[in-house]
Amino acid sequence: MPVIKDDKTLLIRCTCHGHVLEITYDDYWVKEGVEPDFNVSVWNQTPYPFSFSNRIKLIWDLIRGKNLSGDDVIIEKSDAQAIVNFLEKQLNKSKT
């Protein structure tokens, strides 16, 4: 179930309740000839500070060439459909 849904923004909460996926349709600069686009952000609802030792470990992993992985956002089928509907609505709006 979307957390917030308005004309240009959709927020979907991860099933783990730790993250929120935000999709925003940005048509602010259309009058100046800039094509509209979508901004996608992942917000962490449970902030956790990294300890000094964790920071050193992350730096060491980067030095050794390892890729750092981000968190996953897990969404239910109904939320996936809400995303599809939101994107289709915005894309159809920009065609007219």
* The pLDDT of residue 96: 61
* Average pLDDT, 10 consecutive residues per value, the chain (96 residues): 77 84 89 88 76 84 78 86 93 76
* The pLDDT of residue 76: 92
Q: Name the residue type at position 68.
A: L
- The domain locations on the chain are 2-95
* The pLDDT of residue 79: 92
Closest CA to 11 of 41, 49, 45, 38: 41
